[in-house]
Amino acid sequence: MNITYNERNRVFKLDTAHTSYCIGIVDEENFVGHIYYGRKLADDDLAYLMRTQEPPFVPSKNNRDRTSFWDAFPTEYTGNDIGDYREGALTVRTEGGHTAVCLSYLSHRIYRGKEKLEGLPATFGNEEECMTLELTLEDKLLGLQVLLSYSIFADNDAVARSVRIINNGEGSIYLTKALSACIDMDNEDYEMITLHGSWARERAVQTRTIMKGKQGVSSTRGESSHQEHPFMAWKKRSTTEESGDIYAMNFVYSGNFLAQIEENQFGSIRAMMGIHPYNFCWKLEPGDSFQAPEVICVYSSEGIGGMSRCFHDLYRGHLIRGEYRDKKRPILINNWEATYFDFDTDKLLSIARQASALGIEMLVMDDGWFGCRNDDNTSLGDWKVNENKLKGGLKHLVDEVNKLGMKFGIWFEPEMISPDSDLYRAHPDWAIAVPGRTGSLARNQYVLDLTRKEVRDHVYEMVASVLRSANIEYVKWDMNRQLSDLGSYGLPADRQGELYHRQVLAVYELQERLTSEFPHLLLENCSGGGARFDAGMLYYSPQIWCSDDTDAIERLSIQSGTAMVYPLSVMGAHVSDCPNHAIGRVTPFKTRGYVALAGTFGYELDVTKIPQEDRDMIPEQIAMYHKYNDLIRRGDYYRIANYADNGLYDCYVVAAKDKSEALVTYVQVLNRPNYHSRRIHIPGLDPDRTYVIENADEWPEIRQTEYKGDTLHYAGINIPPLWGDFQGRLMHLTSK
């Protein structure tokens, strides 16, 4: 890891273990351009790559065609309205109504470590672990300074970028777009990878050719969303899972976003990411600054898998906080799919009794324990225990659960308010709304206006007082609707355009408060399943509920798409009842266990009601979790085959960092008649070491029990057709 500045050529170079990122300053006007991002290079004189010499298009030599310069220059962070007709990263409106921004280099600072981003989640590292380049750009006329930060890590190849904008001028400036990162480069036959979905089918992988014009994904829903994800990668067409060039950006943010690639007339692309400019207008008074959230940029020459593993390591080591980050999580049983709203103390205790006898370690009481909530039409905001259901109160229930040797967890949806609630009756103006308009309901609820301090304080106290009242060790923080009808009774007219972002900042502030007051709490974020499964939330909670679709076969593609960016250690995954409540499929209990193992692991069923033979399997599954979870949480993840691509089977391996062991999960989704065995290649092993198939009795078809790592990878193993659909197997390899 190193950051250098070559004064002669005016080139900055950021070197990680395997990558280089170069920025140059050009012309007398000190414009800042992007030079190179890719494999690590020894040379630091790369200024020749910037096409300013052919012909001399720099304004000092050819001001007659200044727009031609701007429209082709690979700008490091673009201004607006000066002749670059591609999408800009920063747009403003001045008091005079003007929108142009022209940025040039002012100064820089290179330092060890990484500063916090105020009020925002971000990666972190100390002086040994990180280095940062801070480039200050300015628009003299506007008095606007733009600070571009680039942090690199000693043990990871990612570059963490963010932007801070300071108004040093004399008048107010409105930011109407302030993206966090942008990279210009030549299009070398790139394809774009993005993640798409809907409720119960989050993060399906899509690949498309990058073509002229703009293409991308976004959210204007006030959350990162089920539908599109704040991630994009671009790779060479020839890049595979295991080899070839790939670039990616992921947003450490949980609200509206734009992720876009634009190919211009000369075949160069501009990739950019940041807060979506939709309804965004941030007022900067003189002296004010705006901090745009962080974007993680990754380059890997080791294919899609190399990119994924880079994100996984970065997030496990430099984003997730708290004591549970590196710890096995308690195996929980959640009563949502078991009882929905129909439960009371007795029912929960009978589930807990059975669960604890089987080795389950925590009972989570989901939605329906508060106010008059017997369905999803009421009571959000009234976080008072419903003692008709919980006879003897919450503490009694928690104590009884604790007596069984189990921990206790609880569900909240703190950002919401039901029109049918005491809170709404007392404070109708606490909901986000446009005065005089009946707002659109979703799941019969409104969103609380958390930009108001009194609302935040009230919500926090309600939640915290419940947590203080009993030994509650886990919270599932849910968020079940998207934002609409944007209006805050607390903001003046010229700041209504700040509402979307302020709301996200408020959620971050609340979760920061919660995890500070309750440092031992295990927090799991959730949003109607996985609508806010993003790097922003991971700063506050070490796990996120992946999807409301708990069907094991559907989960194969949801989890594999999620693992494109996020480590298995953060994916909430449970064994649930069959026929599955989302799609009605019946999958063997054993397979359901294998699939949930690739996550935080738990149960979401009424354990008193499932068939005895399934129940009998639970202690075995729990033993498996205890045996493999350290490996799954910390290891390197390699996708071998995707059910979403081939329609037939799914396979992945998690290999220990020291290559001492690996766990292969294979799920045959469909059996077909008269096929021979399937060849599977197992990456991630040490080619020279001998591996023993530790559970060889489950693989009677494989004659030998020992193979070298290179044999398992390059020659592979044959997996026989398994009898029936939805059958799974694990293979545990340990090195001798």
Residue 539 neighbours by CB under 8 Å, 6+ apart: 121, 122, 252, 319, 320, 321, 508
Rounded Cα–Cα distance for residues 733 and 736 (Å): 10
Nearer to ligand GLA, 478 or 554 (CB): 478
Judged by beta carbon, residue 173 or residue 466, the one nearer ligand GLA is 466
Q: Of 155 and 376, which has the nearer Cβ to ligand GLA?
A: 376
| Residue 243: closest CA among 290, 196, 296, 306 | 306
Q: Which is nearer to ligand GLA, 376 or 512 (CB)?
A: 376
Nearer residue to ligand GLA within complex by CB, 139 or 478: 478
Q: Which single residue is written with the structure tokens 């409301």?
A: 548
Q: Which is nearer to ligand GLA, 13 or 581 (CB)?
A: 581
Residues forming contacts to ligand GLA in the complex (CB under 6 A) are: 336, 366-367, 376, 411, 478, 480, 526, 528-529, 545, 548
User: Is the distance from CB of 156 to CB of 314 less than 8 angstroms?
Assistant: yes
Helix/strand/coil (H, E, C) string of 36-104?
Answer: EEEECCCCCCCHHHCCCECCECCCCCCHHHHHHHHHHCCECCCCECCCCCCCCCEEEEECCCCCCECCE
478 given a catalytic annotation: yes
Neighbouring residues of 674: CB distance < 8 A, sequence distance ≥ 6: none
Nearer to ligand GLA, 599 or 709 (CB): 599
Q: What is the length of the chain?
A: 736
CA distance 377 to 371: 11
Is 548 tagged catalytic? yes
Choice among 478, 549, 614, 650 that is catalytic: 478
How open is the CA angle 101-103-108, to the nearest 5 degrees? 150
Catalytic entry in 184, 534, 548, 577: 548
User: Tokens in use for 498?
Assistant: 């700040």
Q: How far is the CB of 366 from ligand GLA (least distance, A)?
A: 5
Q: How far is the CB of 235 from ligand GLA (least distance, A)?
A: 32
> Closest separation between CB of residue 507 and ligand GLA, Å?
16
208: number of Cβ within 10 Å: 11
Residue nearest ligand GLA, Cβ-based: 367
Q: Which residues touch 635 (CB under 8 Å, ≥6 apart)?
A: 654, 655, 656, 657, 662, 663
- How far apart are CB 88 and ligand GLA at their closest, in Å? 37
Closest approach, Cβ 219 to ligand GLA, in A, equals 18
Contacting residues for 41 by C-beta, under 8 A, at least 6 apart: 20
- CA nearest to 154, candidates 125, 185, 179, 120: 125
Question: Which conformational region is residue 296 in: left (phi greater than 0), alpha (psi within -120 to 50 degrees), or beta?
Answer: beta
Least separation in angstroms between CB 442 and ligand GLA = 12
How many other CB atoms sit within 10 Å of the CB of residue 675? Answer: 10
Return the closest-CA partner of residue 528 out of 613, 445, 408. 445
Catalytic residues: 478, 548
